[in-house]
A = this chain, B = another copy of it.
Amino acid sequence: MTKCEVRFDSHPEPIEVPVGTLLTEVAREGGVEIQQPCGGQGRCGRCAVRVESGQVRRRSVLRLSQADLDAGYALACQTVVEGDAAIEVPPPEAIQRRLTTDHTAPEAVLPEDYDPARSQSIRRVAVRLSPPSMEDQTDDWSRLCTALRKEAGVERLDASLEQIRQLGPMLRASDWRIALTVETDKSGGAQLIRLQPEDEAADAPLCGLAIDIGTTTVTVWLVDLLTGRVMREASEYNQQIARGEDVISRIIYAGKAEGASKLREMVLGTINGLIEAICERTGVAPADIAKATVAGNSTMIHLFLGLPPESIRLEPFITTINHLPPLPAADVGIAMNPAGIVDPLPGVASYVGADITAGVLSSGVRASPAVTLFIDVGTNGETVLGSSEWLVTCACSAGPAFEGAGVVHGMRADTGAIEEVWIDGRTYEPSCRVIGNVPARGICGSGLISLVAEMFLTGLFDKGGNFNQSLGTQRMREGPHGAEYVVAWAAECEGEEDLVFTQVDLENLLRAKAAVYAGFNVLADSVGVPLDTVEQVLIGGSFGKYINVEKAVDIGLLPDMPWERFHFLGNTSVKGAYWTLIDRAARDEIAEIASAMTYIELSADNSFYEAFTSALFLPHTDLSRFPSVKAAMT
C-alpha cells in the first residue's frame, strides 16, 4: 500500500497515511480538527480546506463554486489524497463568512460613462437674470422662462401657485441669481421642484431616494443625483408587520375601520424614519431630496398610497392601477421636498407588482437573449421567465411558510433564527447555524429549506413527506399534533420547550415549494421552453440572498441544474428603483417591461393544479427532473 505525507498548516508534523485516504480521516489520524456538521456527507461545505500543493481527488464538489475550486478549495470529507500534499485549514469564521457572502449580490456600480446630465431627469439649473427696468418691464415669470430657455433649453416650465408666490421676493433678495431644481421631460418641458438663491444652491446637495417597500422589510437608498452614486442605505422592518405578516392579512386589516389609514401611516412611519436617520447621518435635509422612485408589490403600493386594496384579494384579483403617474411628494406624505416627485414604479397585476418589474429591470433579464428564470422567493412566489424577446410571469401564492409563518417554530431571519441545519446521517443529530450566534429562538426560511433537505436526505421522512419514527433516535417522536423532530432541546435554546419541526409544518412547506415549482412548470409550458434549457436562474429578494441552492434543489423548490446557472442578486427591487431614479432610459424600460410581461393567472389554470400535485413530493414525483438529488439519495 503506497503511503504519502500530508502536512496541515496548523499541525507541526506531517501525517503519513495510505494513498486514497479521505482528508477527514487524515485529519482525525493527526488530531487536526475539521468541522463536519453534516457528518461527512459532503453537503454542508463546512469542512472546506485549501489544498496548497500536492495531488488530491475531489469526489464531490457540492457547495463549492468554480472560484473556490480555482483557489484550491476542496471538501475534506469528499476528497482523497493521491500523493504528498499540503493543506490549509481556514479558521471556522472564514469558512462561514465565505459561505454566507458567497454569491451575494454585487453592489450597484455606475457605468464608467454615466453622465447625470444626460441620463437623469432631475436637473439643477442656475440662471442669472438681467433685472427689470423702465425699458424692460417683463414680468418675473416670463423673465425667468426666457433665461431658462436660453441657458438650459427648457421650453415650458410648470410650477405650483405656491412656487410662483416665492419667485418675486427670491429674485429680488438674491440679486436676480437663482437656481432651479426641475424634473425635465424629453419634449423640453420641466416641472419646478425647488427655487433657491444661487449661492445657497451651490453648497446644497441634490438627492433622490430609491425605495423598496417589502411586505417584511423596507429599504431606502439615498442617492446623490449630482453623481448618481448611492450615499447611504438603510433597511427596517415594515411597521405594518404588527397588523399581519403577509399581504392577505394586511388587506383584511385594511378593510377594518381606520385600518387602511393606519397601515398607510405605519409604512410612511417606516419610510420616514429611515429617511430621517439617513438625513441625520449624511447631513442632507429633506428639502434637498427632489425625487423618489418606489418599488413594492401591488398590495404594498396600494397601502402606501392609500388606494383601497380589497379588490386585490377578491376574485378576479384586480388592482386599482398598475401604471401610476408621478405624484407630488406632499400628496404622498414622504418626508422629502414637498414639491418633489414620487414615482411609483409600474406593476403588472395584483400579485406581480413593481418589485418584480424593478427586479427584472435590475437583474438584466431583458438585456440578454438567454432564457432566464427570475424568482423572487417569498410569500407570493413571483416568477418571471423570459429573455430580451419575451416575458411571461405568474405568482404562485406560495404563502408565507418560507417566511416562517404556518410553521410552529418559524420566524423571520432575525437574531436567534436557525438559518442553516446539517444532520448527521448516522446519528440524526443536527448542527445549526444561528443568526447572531445566540441560542436558537426559531427557524427562518433558509433554515427551513436546509432542515427539510437534511431530514429528507438522511431518511427522517420519505419522498411522500411521511416522518419515519423507527430510526431509533429520540429526536424523532410523537408530538401533540403528530410526528415531530426536535431541532434543539429546550435546554440548548434556553426556552421552556423543545424547538421542534412537525409533520404539519412539513406539509405546509411542501405545499409552498410545490406551488413555486409548479409555477416554473406552467410558465415554461406556456411558452414551450423545457425548464432544463433555462440558461440562468436569477434569485431576487433579500430572503433569496440566503438560500442554500443545493438544499433548495434537494427539496424540489428550485429546478435541478448546474450550480453556475444560479445567481443571487439580493434586493433586485431597490436596485431597479435606483436605476429608474438615475436613468431616464431605465424608467422607460421598466414601463416597457411592465407592458410586455404576459401575466398567467395560475388560479384559472388547470395545468397548474396538476403540476402542483406532482411537486408535492420530495423532490418531485418525476425523479428524472432531479438527477443530482437522485444521485445524492443513492
Contact = CB atoms under 8 A, between A and B. Distances in A.
A306 B134 contact: no
A490 interface: no
B141 A316 contact: no
B320 A139 contact: yes
A349 interface: yes
Contacts of A138: 318
A137 B350 contact: yes
Given A161-B306, A327-B161, A134 B168 contact: no
A529 interface: no
Interface in A232-276: none
Interface in A127-155: 132-142
A103 to B, nearest CB: 35
A454 to B, nearest CB: 40
Interface in A517-536: none
A142 B142 CA distance: 38
Nearest to A603: B134
A256 to B, nearest CB: 15
A323 B167 contact: no
A315 B135 CA distance: 11
A308 interface: yes
Nearest to A136: B316
Interface size class of A (residues with CB under 8 A): 35 or more
Contacts of A308: 165, 168-169
A335 B2 CA distance: 100
Given A158-B325, A161-B305, A305-B161, A320 B603 contact: no
A427 interface: no
A624 interface: no
A139 B323 CA distance: 9
Interface in A319-345: 319-325, 327, 331-332
Interface string A14-58: 000000000000000000000000000000000000000000000
A94 interface: no
B322 A134 contact: no
A168 B317 contact: no
Nearest to A260: B165
B321 A601 contact: no
Nearest to A166: B308
Nearest to A167: B320
A134 B307 contact: no
Contacts of A349: 137, 139
A88 to B, nearest CB: 57
A414 to B, nearest CB: 34
B321 A139 contact: yes
Contacts of A136: 316
A529 to B, nearest CB: 24
Contact of A137 (B159, B167, B307, B599): B599
A138 B595 CA distance: 12
Contact of A168 (B135, B162, B311, B325): B311
A605 to B, nearest CB: 10
B172 A311 contact: yes
For A140, A317, A599, which residue has the most chain B Cβ atoms within 10 angstroms? A140
A604 interface: yes
B161 A331 contact: yes
A306 B162 CA distance: 9
For A162, A169, A305, A307, which residue has the most chain B Cβ atoms within 10 angstroms? A307
A606 interface: no
A164 interface: yes
A634 interface: no
B168 A320 contact: yes
Interface in A284-334: 305-308, 310-311, 315-325, 327, 331-332
Contacts of A168: 307-308, 310-311, 318, 320
A10 to B, nearest CB: 61
Interface string A524-553: 000000000000000000000000000000
Interface string A343-360: 000000110000000000
A160 interface: yes
Given A137-B350, A139-B320, A160 B601 contact: no
A446 B331 CA distance: 52
Interface in A103-133: 132-133
A325 B320 CA distance: 30
Contacts of A603: 134
Contact of A320 (B141, B317, B320): B141
Interface string A586-621: 000000000000010101100000000000000000
A604 to B, nearest CB: 4
Nearest to A306: B165
Nearest to A169: B308
Contact of A319 (B140, B305, B325, B327): B140
Contacts of A350: 137
A136 B325 CA distance: 23
Interface string A194-232: 000000000000000000000000000000000000000
Nearest to A172: B311
20 contacts: A134-B316, A134-B601, A134-B603, A134-B604, A137-B318, A137-B349, A137-B599, A139-B349, A140-B311, A140-B319, A140-B320, A141-B320, A161-B305, A161-B332, A164-B307, A164-B321, A164-B324, A165-B308, A168-B310, A168-B311
The 4 lowest CB-CB distance pairs between A and B, nearest first, are A141-B321, A134-B604, A168-B320, A139-B319
Interface of A: 132-142, 158-162, 164-165, 167-169, 172, 305-308, 310-311, 315-325, 327, 331-332, 349-350, 599, 601, 603-604
